[in-house]
Amino acid sequence: MTKLSSKDVLRSDQFSKAEIDLIMETARTYEAAVDAGEVLDVMKGKVLSTLFYEPSTRTRLSFETAMLRLGGDVITVAEAKSSSAAKGESLHDTIKTVEGYADVIVLRHPQIGAAKEAAEATDQPVLNAGDGAGQHPTQSLLDLYTILKEQKKVDGLTIALAGDLRNGRTVHSLALLLANYDVRFLFVAPDALRMPTEIVEQVKAAGIDVQETENLSQAICEADVLYMTRIQRERFEDPAEYERLKDAFILRNDALASAKPSLTIMHPLPRVNEIDPDVDAFAGAAYFRQSANGVPIRMALLALVSGRA
Ligand code: CP
């Protein structure tokens, strides 16, 4: 049993450095086993419930693939309207019901704090798959895993997070997770979409050098990792404001002439206009490798919180 056994995964800043290292090492072990064609039974007899009240392709399917790769079973609610939430059932009552069917619960929900509320309703492990504009901790772990694979290190890197830093839960979680390392941050956003002050302050308090800028060209020149994000249309109350900001940053091939040859380009996906498809041929364009890394990381998390790793 590790310290992660029976734990919820709610925020990226809940982990100690030792726990992060354990998750990375466990993911590497499972990735190697799957690559070698091994059929695993680590989660045999266990059932994962995925409850997705917001759209998802990568997070839901990679969690479900992870459980299947570990020999477990999956039950799913892929959209709120197909569940009794549409009839007015509370999140508390849904979770109390699902704990009678499943051993681990993965929840995506539009409200900040929903995963914490779910975790308070059950003793079973709850994993936050995105709570509104709050956090997406399992994404940040796969993002870290991707940086380690692509750059072979984290310490010493300049990491630029660009786009909708106000509403993007992936960048909230990633900034806090990387604050465990010796990195330098460039937070690149239009003024209206800056990183929330509390996250900037928390990262700075960890001793991290942070520069906030609206200059994507500068970030492309200086970065070792450029993490682009989508402008989160679903979080805007004013459609005109979304239209004003939606194409704030578009990464095109010609801009990469000034980048380091070793630049890693990441994006949690889905992308809309932020990265021109021509960029996909750039050697450091890692976003599809990044999404594939969701499987070993989520295998590690499922096994660890279940006390099976
Ligand atoms: N990165 C991510 O959360 O993608 P999905 O919304 O497709 O799950």
Residue 246 sits in a domain of what CATH number? Answer: 3.40.50.1370
Does 127 lie in the same domain as 157? no
211 and 107 in a single domain? The answer is no
Residues 233 and 177 in one domain: yes
pLDDT at residue 252, rounded to an integer: 96
Mean pLDDT of the chain: 97
Does one domain contain both 75 and 20?
A: yes
| Residue 157 sits in the same domain as residue 31 | no
**Nearest-10 Cα torsion for 156, 180, 228, 293:** 100
86 and 110 in a single domain? The answer is: yes
- In the chain, the N- to C-terminal Cα span, in Å, equals 7
Residue 90 lies in a domain: yes
* Closest C-alpha among 184, 188, 53 to residue 131: 53
Sign of CA dihedral 174, 270, 102, 82: positive
Residue 5, domain member (yes or no) = no
Same domain, 189 and 261: yes
Structural domain containing residue 278:
137-291
Q: Is there a single domain that holds both residue 111 and residue 234?
A: no
Supply the pLDDT for residue 203. 98
| C-beta of 129 in contact with ligand 1 (< 6 A) | no
Instruction: Flag whether the pTM goes above 0.95.
Output: yes
58 assigned to active site:
yes
Question: For ligand 1, is residue 217 a contact (CB within 6 Å)?
Answer: no
Q: What is the 3-state secondary structure (H, E, C) of 43-63?
A: CCCCEEEEEECCCCCHHHHHH
Residue 1, domain member (yes or no)? no
User: Token pair 């999956």 is at which residue?
Assistant: 74
Question: pLDDT by residue (tens digit) across 80-127?
Answer: 888 898 899 999 999 999 999 999 999 999 999 999 999 999 999 999
| 184 is known as an active-site residue | no
Q: For residue 161, what are its two tokens?
A: 């997070």
Place of tokens 């450029």: 226
Nearest CA-CA partner of 59 in 213, 220, 307, 290 = 290
Q: Does some domain include residue 4?
A: no
Number of the ligand 1 atom closest to the C-alpha atom of 62: 8
Total domains in the chain come to 2
- Paired with 9 in beta bridges are 127
Of all protein residues, whose CA lies closest to atom 1 belonging to ligand 1? 268
Same domain, yes or no: 147 and 276: yes
| Closest by CA position to 187, among listed 206, 169, 171, 207 | 171
Residue 155 shares a structural domain with residue 277: yes
Looking at the DSSP bridge assignments, the partners of residue 47 are 73
The whole-number average pLDDT for the span 250-272 is: 97
**pLDDT value for 1:** 66
For residues 42 and 188, membership in a common domain is answered with no
Q: Is residue 34 part of a domain?
A: yes
Coil/strand/helix, residue 161: strand
Q: Is residue 55 located within the same domain as residue 131?
A: yes
Shortest-distance Cα residue to atom 5 of ligand 1: 56
Cα 190 to averaged position of ligand 1 atoms, centre (Å)? 23
Is residue 7 domain-resident?
A: no
Domain membership of residue 3 (yes or no) is no
